[in-house]
Each structure stands twice: as C-alpha cells, then as structure tokens.
Chains A and B, each alone.
Chain A
Amino acid sequence: MRYRVRNKEGETVNNNVAVKKKGGVKGFFKKVYKYRAFLLMLLPAVVYTLIFAYYPMTGIVLAFKKYTYAGGIWGSAWNGLNNFKFFFQSGQAGLVTRNTVLYNVAFIIINTVTQIAVAILLTEIHNKHYRKVTQSIMFLPYFISWVIVGVMAFNIFSSDYGFMNRLIVALGGEKITFYTKPEAWPFILVFFNLWKGVGYGSVMYLAAIMGIDTSIYEAAAIDGANVFQRIFKVTIPMIMPTTIILFLLSVGGIFKGNFDMFYNLVGNNGLLYNYTDVIDTLTFRALITNNDFGMSAAIGLFQSVLCFITVVLVNKLVGKYDRDYTLF
C-alpha cells in the first residue's frame, strides 16, 4: 500500500509501507487477526455500502432488457441497445443534455460562490442573536418542497393574478407574460435554486471556517491585515480543500437534472422547453404513458456513465493542480 503523508514542513512524501510478503495466506489471516478491532468497526459501513450502493447496481441489466412483469428483472428477454434509441430519436437529446449541463454548471458556480460569501459574512457578524436568526431564515427555504415552490412561483409570475404583474401594472408598466417567455426562465430557475439551497449549503463552509485555527487570524491582525485581507488571504485559502471536495461531489451529478425543480416550476408548458427541458423531464414525458422500465433504466445509465466520466476527468484536472485536493 502506498500512503501519502505530509511531513512537518508540509511537503508531500511518499512512504512505501507495503508490509513484506510474509507467507501469503497465512500472513493475511494474521493481519486480519491483528487488526480485528478496526475491521469490526469497518464492517457496518461495508455492509451498508454493499447493500445500498452495490447490490441495487445489478439493476443496470434492466437497461438492456425488454421488461415484462412476468419475467421480472432477470427473466425478461435481452433487448440490446434498443432502450436507448428513443432518447436520441426524439431529436431533443442534444438540447436537453446541453440544458442539463449548462444549468448544473450555473447552479454549481453561483451556489458555491454565494454559499461561501454567505458563510464568510455570517462569521463576520458578531451579534450572536442576529447571526442565528439570519442563518435560520436562510436555512428555512431548504425545507419547502418544490411543489410548494412551484405554486409560489405561479403566484408570483402568473399574468392574471401574479404579484410581479400586479406590481408592474401598478407602477404603470406593461404586463409580462412570463409563462410564454422562455428567455426569463434560466434566471428564474437559477434564482429559486439559489434561494432554496444557499442556507443549507453555507453550513458546510461555516463549519470549515470554524475549523480554521484562530491563531492565524491573530497573527494576521498583528501583521496589520484588514478585514478584506483577512478574508482573501486567510479564510478563502484555508477553506479551499472543502470547497474543492464539495465542488467535485456536485460535478458528480452534472448530467442529472433536478426533476422536482424543473417539473414543478415549468410543468407541461412546451413553450418554455427550449430553455428549460432537461434529461429527466424529457424522460418523464416520454415514459409516463407507457411505463417502460427498461427505457428509464437506460437513461439513468446514460446519465450515470457520463457523470462518472466527468468526475474522473475533473478529479484528474484537480490532481494536476494539487494532488491533495483530489477525491480519489
């Protein structure tokens, strides 16, 4: 086994700790016995992962089968790549894949930046009560389901009774029919996603900031650093590892559209699809009437494979910058 550890100077050192091969199998059991306490502690996690992450993965075969109730997952006939066909044949594959990725990129960038900013601002607030109240209020939208958010959005943007249009008319403007204006929707979607996620997301960064050794700030203060220098020279570099790990985790879902959000905000409004249709909503529409499990499994597999490739690539790129920041 190869471990990377940092020595006292903070340089990366590679240690080859591979235990010398001592009598093959025998040595293995010896080691098992030696580390039995650790292995026992590890066991629940391994079992959990096997049951909930690896066992369901066998369902992937469904993507290549013509599913029937009688045959079940294993007994149904093989179907080759036919289950993937409808997606590309619909003529929307390119559009929805592009939309999915672009939305996710926008979400990742905007959410990360805002969440970090909010976390830093919160730590800079010294009035404890004010800080707690602010944080709770920002956290609250996270608990509101997308169904409710969809209704709220309709009441804000509807042209007959919507809050926005009432406001615009009251100010002497002309009504805007948001539900026939696709261009407006990227902004609306990004806004709602941010509004809903910022409080929750900033908790991670808050924890990271809390973990920074206060002696660094003291040293910085003695050296005469002002607030901005403290933020940009100390806080942000120190939470970089957390940021990158969270970033990599979100990149892992870059080909997956948040169905709840898109479906509840956009619904069946075809007028907006050029700007709002994502892989998941397209699949939903295609299969809601004929309930083909094979086809939905195929699209799930398609998304997962693309996500997997992206994560590996991005992880590699991050590794080029600094090996310590990689996920694996």
Chain B
Amino acid sequence: MKKNMKKAAALTLSAVMAAGLLTGCGSSDSGASAAKDTSAKDTTANSGAAQSGSENAGGIDLSEHVDLTMYLLGDRTADFDEVYGEINKLLEEKLNCSINVEFLSWGEHDTKYSLLFSGGEDFDLIFTASSWGHYEQTVALGGFYELTEDFIKTYAPEIWETVPELAWSQAKIDGKIYMVPNYQNEFGQDVVAVRGDLMEEYGIKQITNWDELIAFYKACAEHGMYASQGGPWYQYFQSQGLTTTGGAPKSGELVLYNTQDPSDLSFTYLLDWEGFTDYCKQMKELADMGCWSPDVLNANDERQTGLLTGRTAGMIWNLGSCTTYAKQANAENPDWNVTLVDPVSSQPKKVNSYINNGVAINVNSKNPERAMMVLNELYTNPTINDMTRFGIEGKHWEAVGDDQFKVIDESNFGVDSNCNWGWMNETIKRTEFIENRTALDDTHDAMLDAWNNNVKGEHPYDGFNFDSTNVTTQMAAVDAAMTSYYEPLVNGLVDDVDATLEQFRAAMESAGIRDILAEMESQAAAYVAK
C-alpha cells in the first residue's frame, strides 16, 4: 500500500512537472538572437553601377530586383492587399522592387515593436512617431538607419525638397536624423464634440473658455448626465498657454512649457505649479458631483463610446475624430444635434510636431537605398500617395478636380485609415468634397479656418525633444511611481487632494525627478543655443 501511495505521488508529481515545463516554455526569453550583422550590407546599389540599362534618372543601379518589407501600425483592412498590389505594379515598373506590408496591431505594437529589432526580424521600412510611435526609444537602442543629408538627397530628392527644414530639425536626435517626418499641418489641440440638444436643455449658450466648460460639466451632473470620460486636463493647461514637453515623462505631461510666449524658456514641473493644485481641486468637486463615472480609470472604453452610446454629453478628441463621430452620432440620433466647441478658443493654435508621424529604415535593412526610394514614391508621387490614402480610384473614391476627392465606398479601405500617416504630404494632399453639407460641416470648416488664421508663433521648444538616455533609471522610477497618483488626481478621484499631492511630490523626489529636470534644462539650453 505504501508502494501504491508512492506511485500515486510520483504520478501526480510528474504530471505537475510536465505542466510546469510546458508553461515554463512560454516565459519570455527576451531578445535571444539579437541583430548582429549590422555591417555586411553597405552598398548593393552602388556596386557595379554600369551594368544593364535599368537605371533611373539619378544614375542609380536598379538592375537587381528586391522585395522590401514594411511594418505599419493598425489592422489590415479588407481591400488593403488589393490596393498595395496596384501600388506594387507601379513600383515594379519604376524601381524594380515590391513591398510587402506587415501590421502591428494597436493592441500589440507597444510590446512587439521593440521585439522586431531585438529578434533580428528582416524588414526595411517601419512606421514611427515621436513618443507614441517609439521613435526616441528605438533610436536610443540603435534600431534605426541614420539618414544623412547626402543619403536623402541622393535617394529621395523630392522628399528633401518637400519636407520643411523645421521638420528635419525636429527629427534630429543628437544631431542625426533617423526618420522621414510627415508634412502636414495637424493641429495639436483637442476640441469637444457636444450634444446640442442637451446644451439647449441645460441653458448653455456657448462653450468657448474654461469657465463655460466647467459650467457645462456642472449642468450635466445636475441633470444626472455624465459630461465626458474623465477630467478635461489638457483643456486646463492649454487655456493657460501651456503645452506638453516632448520626451518628458507621461507623454510630456509631467513637464509643461509656455508655448504661447517664445521668450519664456522656463519649464513648468507640475508639482511645483499651483495651477495643478487648483485644477485637481476643481476636478475633485466635479467628480464628486458626478460629472463622469467613478470607474473611468478602469473602463477600457474607446474615446467615442460614451458619446455614441448616449452615456456622456460630450467627447474630447482632435478635430478630425470629433467631426467623424459627431457625424455618426447625428446620423444614428438625428435629434441629438451634436456640434463642435473649442473651450480654449482664445489661444492661438499650435501645429503638431511633424515627427508625430513618420517612417524610418531598419538599421539591419539589406536595401536601405531602395527602401528610401520607395518612401520617396509613397511620399511625393501623387498617384501612389492618393492610393495609400483612399484606395483604388473608381472603386473606393473619385477625384474631384485636382485637389479634392469624393468617397465612393469607405467600408473596406477607409480614408487615411491604413497607417499612411507617415507620408502625409501637405503639398499634394486632396481635401474632401462634401455634397450635402450640414450645420456640422459648416462649424468644422469655420473652426478650421479660424485656427488656420490664428496659428501661434514658433517657440524654441516646439521642436525640442528630451533625450532620456542619461537618466533611464530615473525615468523608469518616475514612470513606475507616477500612475498611483497622477491619473486619480487628474480625474478628481482621490479623497484628499492636498495629501495625495504631497505623497506624489515625495514619490517624485525620491524617484529622481530633479535629475530629470536638470538634464532637461541643460539639453534645452544646448538646443536653444544651436
């Protein structure tokens, strides 16, 4: 009987072990075979220059056919392969190459982006963007091919002519360029899409400044309606002329600067600024009144969910998205009369940094030259650029004159929804032709006109991007400690604002925020001096 028992124990044990081993396999062996062969592939294009006749105007050898791979962010739309099949036909003809596009989905790009490099994946082009698109981190780890001025001029002369000087300087890290920034005037300021019927019901005439916005929030709460999906933090500091600093912790929100005053070269660290205390106290009041759900920190809702489902009276997002979803909401509920308001209308508008979208070349690409030439086509060839934006002419869209387009079928490709933002080109960009204009379209156009007439002056820090390589430890510590306090404060969900602020401050000090600030000051001074 003892034997029996031992046998049973042994059996169960082996089962456990087997299970353990199997699950053990799944644990990550982060970046086992890292990319090593950085050298071996310098110049395939320049070798044997005078072979056969297939040369382009620049005298670059294109005799060898190459297949390039490009990584984009997002999900593959139904007609994506068809559209890129057409694009490949043009590329074959012109550059004797084709591109195969892979996608990193929205859910996984945060984790998988770096694995592409550490895992030695064979690809050539990749979408990138400052901060949200991993640009600085990847450069810090040496993942991108350096784009020298000569390289760009040789292989992408049209890009060099198109992209403004400011954009290149924004893309520079340590004096070197690693991405081709997109070129379009995107406004970096959010607006509010708001239910017109509720505004009328609550007696709110307009929302053009902070006080009116707060009045609207309170009115919503009094009528048992949520106003939005969280506290309007950006609207608060933007209404005071401040904006986020590129590369600073928490997407730049922890350190602000006064973008409206070019002579003001100081940084505002949130916890040294009484404005933040004031904001947190106001938010506490709003949250306690019920201006938004107490579950906002856990709700994984998309930004538009609240508005579209009728749970919130408003939605805060950029002008384009607000317009899109306001239209959708109006189509589904004609009586809502959703409109757009700008709660920081008094401030001149900041144009988004051009490196908010861009494309880079993998440092291990076997054909960086051809990759650059392909990018040149995507960026500056109007036919190809239009295709990446709208799809196939005649099927998805049709041209209206030289500079407008009309959507035929948006369902399987969409407009600007296939991560083509890296090669947005203001000089050849078509605008939408709208047939049955609504009041919303007029509001949108009026707002955009007003903004275009009120673009703010250049501030020295607008192109500045903090490089955190020297303070990675402090950055990681700050990131780790921050979430416990920051989001609850910004959404007014803490019990005691002053006490939480005090803890927050202490946590930041011990995490080394002063080192970060000092490093930032010195980098900024060097940047301005240049």
Contact = CB atoms under 8 A, between A and B. Distances in A.
B530 interface: no
Contact of B5 (A238, A286, A292): A238
Contact of A52 (B21, B35, B110, B479): B21
Contacts of A268: 297-298, 483, 487
Contact of B4 (A160, A180, A211, A289): A211
- Give the contact-size bracket for chain B: 35 or more
A113 to B, nearest CB: 18
Given A89-B511, A286-B476, A211 B8 contact: yes
Contacts of A52: 21, 24-25
Contacts of A211: 4-5, 7-9, 11-12
Given A52-B24, A269-B298, A290-B468, A208 B483 contact: no
Given A68-B142, A271-B297, A293-B118, A277 B25 contact: no
Contact of A270 (B141, B297, B311): B297
B142 to A, nearest CB: 4
A186 interface: no
Interface stretch (A36-44, A100-108, A242-250, A310-318): A242-250
B340 interface: no
B1 A67 contact: no
A159 B294 contact: yes
B246 interface: no
B274 interface: no
Interface stretch (B26-34, B45-53, B93-101): B26-34
Interface string A292-328: 1101110000000000000000000000000000000
Nearest to A292: B472
Contacts of B481: 90-92
A72 to B, nearest CB: 3
A115 to B, nearest CB: 12
A179 B297 contact: yes
Given A91-B481, A286-B479, A86 B474 contact: yes
Nearest to A82: B473
A203 to B, nearest CB: 8
A159 B36 CA distance: 52
Contacts of B12: 204, 207-208, 211, 242
B220 to A, nearest CB: 15
B137 A69 contact: no
A273 B500 CA distance: 13
B98 to A, nearest CB: 26
Contacts of B401: none
Interface in B135-174: 137-138, 140-143
A249 B298 contact: no
A270 B5 contact: no
Interface string A172-215: 00000101100000000000000000000000100110111101
Contacts, number: 208
B512 A89 contact: yes
Interface string A18-40: 00000000000000000000000
B16 interface: yes
B242 interface: no
B526 interface: no
Interface residues of A, number: 69
Contacts of A85: 473, 477
A177 B295 contact: yes
Contacts of A145: none
B178 interface: no
A210 to B, nearest CB: 7
Contacts of B34: 69, 71-73, 75
A1 to B, nearest CB: 20
A180 B12 CA distance: 42
Contacts of A215: 1
A282 interface: yes
Contacts of B511: 89-91
A70 interface: yes
Contacts of B24: 52-53
A175 to B, nearest CB: 9
Contact of A287 (B2, B4, B35, B476): B476
Interface string A141-170: 000000000000010001110000000000
A125 B20 CA distance: 30
Interface string A81-100: 01001110111100000000
Nearest to B300: A267
A154 B298 contact: yes
Task: Tell which of B29, B110, B507 has the most Cβ of chain A within 10 Å.
Answer: B29
A69 B141 contact: yes
Contact of A177 (B137, B294, B479): B294
B16 A246 contact: yes
Interface in B464-502: 468, 472-481, 483-488, 493-494
B479 to A, nearest CB: 5
A215 B4 CA distance: 11
Given A179-B295, A270-B487, A271-B493, A285 B9 contact: no
B384 to A, nearest CB: 30
B344 interface: no
Nearest to B311: A160
Contacts of B138: 69
Given A90-B511, A212-B5, A241-B9, A270 B300 contact: no
Contact of B480 (A6, A10, A70, A86): A86
A98 to B, nearest CB: 15
Contacts of B134: 291
Contacts of B142: 68-71
Contacts of B510: 89-91
B522 interface: no
A284 to B, nearest CB: 9
Nearest to B494: A271
Interface string A206-232: 011011110110000000000000000
A134 interface: no
5 contacts: A70-B142, A85-B473, A91-B477, A92-B481, A271-B297
Lowest 8 A-B CB distances belong to which pairs? Answer: A211-B8, A72-B34, A213-B1, A286-B480, A86-B476, A269-B297, A90-B480, A89-B477
Given A48-B21, A286-B480, 8 more contacts: A67-B141, A90-B476, A90-B510, A180-B493, A211-B7, A271-B488, A271-B493, A291-B114
